[in-house]
Structure 1
Amino acid sequence: MTSPSAAHERGVLALTGVTGTLGGLVLEQLADLAPIVVVRDAARAPEGFEVRVAAYADADECRAAFAGVETLLLVSASESRTRRLDHATVIAAAAAAGVGHVVYTSFQSAAPDATFTLGRDHHDAEQALRASGMRWTFLRDGLYQESLVRFADADGLVRGPAGDGRIAAVSRQDIADVAAAVLRDPAPHAGETYTLTGPEAPTIADAIARGGVATGRTLRYEDETVEDAYAWRRDAWGAEDWQLDAWVTTYTAIADGSLGEVSPDVERVLGRPARSIEQTFAG
């Protein structure tokens, strides 16, 4: 039960990303708080909540959507070549609107020189929040356990230049649970950076095989060179360079250990251990 003082500190709560899986899980847990939901498309907004429409790239829309909001869940923008600018725009708009505290979904390896290229986007967003004058909490999410099985092709094969690297993948539900706990009582979490991982760091091959068993599939990992990784992805999808870099460096970040450090922060916030791969897929 949330204390009156926590409710006072939280003030008006707004959630972004609620039409996605992670934001939707957070909304389920915080529905009793009647949060404002900020969406790009009103037609996709969940029913029963105050809806405000804003795209991260539109400063005016964001300022209007965040008016009167004290605490904001800022789910990171979808991958795109303009993502850094979109983050900078929405963060500046939140500050201009008078938001007091932003809880931002970042990434485990966020750094200016992160191997995983999109981790650099998250570093920029974190720096913008630090400089904004707003209070902040960073949830540095590890790679999702759920994504392990989605990497596989129709034959159950996952290919990438991850070598025998280890991965401390985390359940998306655990991230949502932590986010909900922080948003219910944000004051104690101001200025905190939580790295959210699973309870162990198996090799990528073991993690994928276990994800397969847990979902009733036979999955296997096959290592490949960086050059081959770029070549077949470029041929298969013809993606822009930034997207190819993001796909391939997901694996090279595993290879160099960037995603292999196990953190106690899920248990630190929730008072229980993080879910294992098997527990995640068991529901």
Structure 2
Amino acid sequence: MILVTGASGYVGGTVLRRLAESGNAVSAMVRNLGRAARVEDAGAPIRIANYDEPASLVRAFSGVDRLVFVASDGQARAVMRHHANVVDAAATAGVGHVIFTSITDIDASSGFYFTPVYRDAERRLRASGMKWTILRCGLYADLILSHWIRPALASGEMALPVADARVAPIARADVAEAMAAVAAAGGGDGRVHELTGPIAYSFGEIAAAAARAFSRPIRYTPASPADYLTRLWAEMADPWPHAFASLCRSITERRYACVSGDFEALLGRPAAHFEDFLRRTEPTTEPLPAIQTAGRPCASDKTRGSV
């Protein structure tokens, strides 16, 4: 049996529906009964568990062969604790194979706010004794739309401290498709897959693509890190100014520039091009709750090893 965590969220919910539609024995894990209502239409059994309650996780993971572990979200210390609890509970419950959504900006030299969180989760998985597959996701196209393009639709300017760096965005829908494919296939051979879009774009090109897709004038303007951080503190609560500022610094350091072929190898097709993603997405998409994914030059590590 396959269990999908975070099933009331976009990625987890999409994975759940894909697996159920293809005839897999799958269950959904949600944090409470209120969230359970969001996944009832998938027709899958629902298990209630809380990332901060290890005993509830062990119960939820009982009898699970494959765990689709969609990463937690929020303040870094809490997310690190949640990830540790899930890995420990999965090992205790005897889960056979864990499929985990990590990030591509995983290098120890990165200053990105969430990098230590995901490095720790990967380390725990490798040391757990369970079989695992890690899907390191690049920068979400949805995040670029929600946090940077959408405000620019009103102002006409996307001002970011990323200089002329490039990114290869991937849509959350494509990440979910990849997770469902890996979960359905089973295995658990200790592989790391880098999931990125098929093209790396400059932010000038991203602004131009958005202008074409939404028929509104948008331009990219390089901003200073100090000015950007000041703006963030006026708009966001802690820790998000630091998270977004460090994300932009990682972009500037070319940690997002990789274009990987791993998605196409898994799905038999390339991930969606960024402008195609924009054209089929409403510009009023609700903001993502937080930053989840970043990127770096493609890792050569495709087998078991230390992070």
TM norm structure 2: 0.83
* 2:115 matches 1:126: no
- Over aligned residues, Cα RMSD in angstroms? 1.6
**Which aligned segments of 4 or more residues in structure 1 are displaced greater than 6 angstroms?**
none
The structure-2 alpha-carbon separation of the partners of 1:265 and 1:205, relative to structure 1 and needing over 3 Å to count, comes to: same
Correspondence for 1:272: 269
Q: Give CA-to-partner distance per residue, 1:126-164, whole Å, 9 cap, x none.
A: 011001111111111111112222123232433321111
Correspondence for 1:50: 45
Correspondence for 2:305: none
Correspondence for 2:185: 185
2:217 partner amino acid: T
Tell me by how many angstroms 1:216 deviates.
Answer: 4.0
Aligned to 1:29, which of 15, 18, 32?
18
Listed as ranges, the gaps of 5+ residues in structure 2 are 281-307
Equivalent residue pairs, number? 269
1:118 partner amino acid: F
Distance 1:218 1:23 in 2: 35
Alignment of 1:192-231 (within 5 A): 192-231=191-230
* 2:14 matches 1:17: no
* 2:254 matches 1:257: yes
- Percent identity over the alignment is 35
Tell me by how many angstroms 1:113 deviates.
Answer: 3.1
2:166 partner amino acid: R
Correspondence for 1:232: 231
The structure-2 alpha-carbon separation of the partners of 1:282 and 1:92, relative to structure 1 and needing over 3 Å to count, comes to: same
Secondary structure of 1:85's match? helix
Aligned to 2:94, which of 98, 113, 116?
98
Distance 2:194 2:156 in 1: 30
Aligned to 1:39, which of 16, 21, 30?
30
1:43 partner amino acid: G
Q: Give CA-to-partner distance per residue, 1:18-71, whole Å, 9 cap, x none.
A: 211111211221113241100012222211221111121211111111111010
Aligned to 1:110, which of 97, 106, 113?
106
* 2:68 matches 1:73: yes
TM norm structure 1: 0.90
Listed as ranges, the gaps of 5+ residues in structure 1 are 1-11
